[in-house]
C-alpha cells in the first residue's frame, strides 16, 4: 500500500446557520495489483442542510467528470443514506440532514464509511465521512420543575438530590457545570454515581424558618462549554415544612374581666386568644384551665377551642369577689403557654338587710323612765357599697326612738312615759332599707308589752252612796252594794271592801253594818228602829291587792224608813181609869168648844197623821168632834 497524499483543507461554512464548524479532508490512496483503491475522508459538521457540499470527489480523487460518467460512478453500501453523489459535477453532497447525536450518540469521533464504484475499469474508492459535533443541544433536565419538601428544622449540611441534566453533545459542547440561584440557604455539590454518572445535590447551609419564609423558588442552571454557551434550567420549589418550633402566644399576659353576680349560666365573661406561628396540627390550639386554679374555676367553663370563658355556676359576690384562673393554651405538638384571667365579680343588690334581735325585753314596766332601753338590734346587709348601706327607721307616732350605737347596732329606747292603762302593747316595726337600686328592705316587728304597776287607786262608781231601809228589818238583810274599779291589772286591780271604823250613837259601826269584802254587798247587822235612829253615815274603804296597796273611801248614807208601828197616844185629857167629866153651860150654843182631845203618834209622816171620831154618843147627836183637830163642839 502506498500513501499518495494527505490533504487537509478547511472549509468556511455559511455564517448564519452554522457559524463555526470545520470540515477536514483526508485522502489516502493505495495502489493494488489490478485496481486503484483510494480512501477519502471528509469531516463535516452535523446538521448541514440538504445539498450542502461534502467534497469535490473528482478533484480530490483526480478523476475526470467524463470518467465518472463513463464509469457509471455510484455509491454503494451506504446504509445511512445521508450522502449523495452528483456525478455531473463530481461532488458529494448531503442528501439529508445528519444529526451526530442520532448517528453516534455519545460515541466520538463519529463517522461512517461507504464506497464509490467505477466500471471499465473497475475502481473502488472508500470514503469516510466524519460528522463533527456542533453545540446544537442544550443541557436538559428531565423535569421542568422539582418540588422539595424540607422540614424547617432540617440541620445545615442536609443534602437533597436534584438529579442531573443531559446534554447529548460531546466534548466542550457537553454539560460542564451547574449553578443555583439564589444561594441564600443552599449550595450545590456535584456527586458521582458508582458507575461514573454525575448528579448534583443541594446542601443546606443555613437554617430555614417556615414562619419567615414558607416557600422558596430557586433556579438550577446547567451549562455546557459550547460557544456560545447553552444552558438548561429547572425551577426548584422548596416547601418549608412546618415543625412545632413555636409555642402558642397569648394576646395578653393577663386578661381582666368583670361579671355581675347572679349572671345566668352561659354568660360570656372573657375570651382568651392565643396564636401559634406554626401551621396545621402544630398550630392547632386547645385551651384548658390549669389544675391549680381549677378550684377557683368551678363556676366557669372554658371552651377548649374558642377560648370563651362562660359562667357555669352560681356567682355570689358575698362569697367570692374575685377569681384568678390560669388558662393554658397547648398545641397538638405539646408546646404550651399560660395566661392569667382575673375576673372581678360586681356586686348586685341581691341581699336585703337583715334585722336580728341581739337582746330584747318584750315586757317593760309602765313606770319605766323615758330613755329605757327596750331592745338592741343588729342590722346586716351582705352587699357592699351603697347596696349594703342601710337606713333604719321606726314609726314616729309611737313613744319609742331608735338610735345607732355601735356600727350596725341600734338601740330601741322609750321616748316618753308609758301608761299601761292607756296602751298596754305596742307593735314597733323597725324598717331597714338599703341604698341599692332598686333598694331592698326588711321589717321586724317587736311586740312590746307594758307590764302593770300599781299606780291606780280603786275608784268607786259614785262619789257618795245613799241606802234606804225599812225599820224593823230582819237582821242580815242586804241594804246595798258598793263597787269600786281599779284600772290596774291583776292583783293590782283586785279590789276588797272594808268598813272604816266609826261610832254611831255610842255603838261601833260594825255592830250595825257589815260588808262582804269581795262583793261590796252591805248588810244590816240588826233591826233598826226608826223611832230611835233615822239615819247615819259610814265609810267603806276599797283596797287593791297591789304591794303596796292603794285604797280610797266612800261615804254611805243609810236612811231608815218609818213603819206604822206606833199607836197614837192621847195626851189630853190625861187618860185615867175613870171617866173624864167636862162641864158644859146650859146656855152653850151650838159650836161651843167643849174640850180638845190631844193625841200623838211616835211614827212620822202619814203614820203620824191623826184623825178623831166620836165613838159613843147620846140618842141625839149633841156633840161633834173635829176630824182633824180633835176639837169637840156642841
Ligand X SMILES: *[C@@H]1O[C@H](CO)[C@@H](O)[C@H](O)[C@H]1NC(C)=O
* Interface positions with ligand X (CB under 6 A): 425, 427, 447, 500, 539, 553
Beta bridge partners of 339: 327
The torsion angle over the Cα atoms of residues 148, 153, 154 and 156, rounded to 10 degrees, is 130
Q: How far is the CB of 424 from ligand X (least distance, A)?
A: 8
CB 167 within 8 A of CB 224: yes
**Distance from C-alpha of 495 to C-alpha of 145, rounded to nearest angstrom:** 130
Measured from the CB atom, is 176 or 553 closer to ligand X?
553
Measured from the CB atom, is 358 or 427 closer to ligand X?
427
**Distance from C-alpha of 527 to C-alpha of 472, rounded to nearest angstrom:** 5
**Distance from C-alpha of 52 to C-alpha of 307, rounded to nearest angstrom:** 82
Between the alpha carbon of residue 520 and those of residues 323, 476, 485, 514, the distances in Å are 82, 14, 11, 10
Q: Which candidate, 38, 42, 41, places its Cα nearest to that of 2?
A: 38
Listed in sequence order, the residues at least 6 apart from 292 whose beta carbon sits closer than 8 Å to its beta carbon are 326
Number of alpha carbons in the 13 Å side-chain half-sphere of residue 46: 22
Q: How far is the CB of 511 from ligand X (least distance, A)?
A: 18
Quick one: how far is CA 41 from the chain centroid?
Answer: 104
Q: Give the three-state DSSP class for 57.
A: helix
Measured from the CB atom, is 111 or 539 closer to ligand X?
539
Listed in sequence order, the residues at least 6 apart from 16 whose beta carbon sits closer than 8 Å to its beta carbon are none
**Distance from C-alpha of 409 to C-alpha of 440, rounded to nearest angstrom:** 19
Most distant CA atoms of the chain, gap in Å: 269
Q: How far is the CB of 447 from ligand X (least distance, A)?
A: 5
Backbone dihedral angles phi then psi of residue 69, each to the nearest 5 degrees: -70, -50
Measured from the CB atom, is 52 or 551 closer to ligand X?
551
CB 358 within 8 A of CB 378: yes
Measured from the CB atom, is 95 or 541 closer to ligand X?
541
Q: How far is the CB of 445 from ligand X (least distance, A)?
A: 7
Backbone dihedral angles phi then psi of residue 524, each to the nearest 5 degrees: -85, 130
**Distance from C-alpha of 624 to C-alpha of 613, rounded to nearest angstrom:** 8
CB 151 within 8 A of CB 241: yes
Measured from the CB atom, is 311 or 513 closer to ligand X?
513
Measured from the CB atom, is 294 or 427 closer to ligand X?
427
Q: How far is the CB of 376 from ligand X (least distance, A)?
A: 21
Q: How far is the CB of 425 from ligand X (least distance, A)?
A: 4
Measured from the CB atom, is 147 or 427 closer to ligand X?
427
Q: Give the three-state DSSP class for 607.
A: helix
Measured from the CB atom, is 384 or 539 closer to ligand X?
539
Measured from the CB atom, is 243 or 357 closer to ligand X?
357
Q: What would the DSSP string read from start to end of 343-396?
A: EEEEP-S----EEEEEEE-SEEETTPPTT-EEEEEEEE--S-GGGG-EEEE--T
Measured from the CB atom, is 190 or 464 closer to ligand X?
464
The torsion angle over the Cα atoms of residues 377, 378, 383 and 386, rounded to 10 degrees, is 60
Measured from the CB atom, is 395 or 518 closer to ligand X?
395
Amino acid at each position: 500500500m502506498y500513501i499518495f497524499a494527505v490533504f487537509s483543507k478547511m472549509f468556511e461554512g455559511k455564517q448564519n446557520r452554522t457559524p463555526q464548524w470545520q470540515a477536514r479532508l483526508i485522502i489516502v490512496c493505495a495502489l493494488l495489483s489490478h485496481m486503484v483503491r483510494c480512501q477519502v475522508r471528509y469531516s463535516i459538521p452535523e446538521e448541514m442542510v440538504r445539498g450542502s457540499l461534502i467534497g469535490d470527489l473528482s478533484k480530490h480523487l483526480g478523476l475526470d467528470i467524463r470518467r465518472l460518467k463513463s464509469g457509471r460512478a455510484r455509491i454503494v453500501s451506504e446504509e445511512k443514506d445521508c450522502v449523495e453523489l452528483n456525478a455531473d459535477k463530481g461532488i458529494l453532497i448531503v442528501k439529508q440532514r445528519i444529526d451526530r447525536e442520532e448517528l453516534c450518540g455519545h460515541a466520538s469521533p463519529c463517522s461512517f464509511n461507504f464506497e464509490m464504484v467505477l466500471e471499465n475499469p473497475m475502481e473502488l474508492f472508500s470514503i469516510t465521512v466524519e460528522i463533527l459535533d456542533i453545540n446544537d443541544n442544550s443541557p436538559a433536565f428531565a423535569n421542568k420543575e422539582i418540588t422539595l419538601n424540607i422540614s424547617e428544622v432540617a440541620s445545615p449540611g442536609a443534602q437533597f438530590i436534584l438529579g442531573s441534566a443531559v446534554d447529548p453533545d460531546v466534548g466542550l459542547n457537553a454539560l460542564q457545570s451547574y449553578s443555583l440561584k439564589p444561594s441564600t440557604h443552599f449550595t450545590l455539590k456535584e456527586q458521582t454515581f458508582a458507575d461514573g454518572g454525575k448528579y448534583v445535590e443541594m446542601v443546606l447551609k443555613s437554617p430555614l424558618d417556615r414562619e419567615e419564609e414558607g416557600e422558596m423558588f430557586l433556579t438550577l442552571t446547567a451549562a455546557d462549554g459550547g460557544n456560545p454557551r447553552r444552558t438548561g434550567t429547572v425551577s426548584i420549589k422548596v416547601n418549608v415544612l412546618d415543625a412545632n418550633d413555636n409555642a402558642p402566644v397569648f394576646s395578653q399576659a393577663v386578661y381582666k374581666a368583670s361579671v355581675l353576680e347572679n349572671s345566668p349560666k352561659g354568660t360570656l365573661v372573657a375570651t382568651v386568644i392565643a396564636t401559634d406561628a406554626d401551621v396545621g396540627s402544630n398550630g392547632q390550639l386547645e385551651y384548658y384551665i390549669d389544675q391549680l386554679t381549677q378550684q377557683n374555676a368551678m363556676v366557669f367553663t372554658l371552651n377548649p377551642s374558642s377560648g370563651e370563658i362562660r359562667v357555669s355556676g352560681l356567682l355570689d359576690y358575698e362569697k367570692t369577689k374575685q377569681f384568678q384562673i390560669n388558662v393554658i393554651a397547648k398545641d397538638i405538638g405539646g408546646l404550651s403557654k399560660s395566661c392569667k384571667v382575673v375576673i372581678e365579680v360586681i356586686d348586685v343588690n341581691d341581699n336585703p338587710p337583715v334585722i336580728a334581735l341581739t337582746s330584747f325585753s318584750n315586757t317593760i314596766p309602765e313606770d319605766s323612765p323615758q330613755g329605757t332601753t327596750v331592745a338592741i338590734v343588729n342590722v346586716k346587709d351582705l352587699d357592699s357599697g351603697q347596696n349594703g348601706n342601710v337606713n333604719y327607721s321606726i314609726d314616729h307616732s309611737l313613744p319609742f326612738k331608735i338610735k345607732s350605737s355601735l356600727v350596725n347596732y341600734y338601740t330601741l329606747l322609750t321616748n316618753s312615759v308609758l301608761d299601761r292603762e292607756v296602751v298596754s302593747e305596742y307593735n314597733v316595726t323597725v324598717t331597714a332599707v338599703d341604698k341599692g337600686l332598686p333598694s331592698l328592705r326588711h321589717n321586724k316587728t317587736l311586740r312590746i308589752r307594758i307590764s302593770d304597776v300599781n299606780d291606780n287607786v280603786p275608784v268607786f262608781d259614785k262619789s257618795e252612796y245613799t241606802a234606804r231601809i225599812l225599820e224593823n228589818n230582819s237582821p242580815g238583810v242586804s241594804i246595798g252594794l258598793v263597787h269600786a274599779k281599779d284600772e290596774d291589772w291583776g292583783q293590782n286591780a283586785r279590789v276588797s271592801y272594808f268598813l272604816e271604823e266609826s261610832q254611831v250613837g255610842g255603838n261601833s259601826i260594825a255592830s250595825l253594818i257589815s260588808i262582804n269584802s269581795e262583793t261590796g254587798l252591805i248588810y244590816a247587822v240588826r233591826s233598826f228602829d226608826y223611832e230611835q235612829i233615822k239615819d247615819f253615815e259610814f265609810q267603806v274603804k276599797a283596797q287593791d291587792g297591789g304591794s303596796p296597796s292603794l285604797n280610797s273611801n266612800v261615804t254611805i248614807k243609810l236612811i231608815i224608813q218609818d213603819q206604822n208601828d206606833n199607836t197614837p197616844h192621847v195626851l189630853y185629857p190625861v187618860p185615867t181609869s175613870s171617866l173624864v167629866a167636862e162641864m158644859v153651860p146650859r146656855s152653850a150654843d151650838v159650836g161651843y168648844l167643849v174640850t180638845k182631845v190631844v193625841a200623838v203618834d211616835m211614827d212620822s209622816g202619814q203614820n203620824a197623821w191623826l184623825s178623831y171620831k166620836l165613838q159613843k154618843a147620846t140618842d141625839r147627836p149633841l156633840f161633834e168632834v173635829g176630824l182633824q183637830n180633835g176639837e169637840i163642839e156642841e
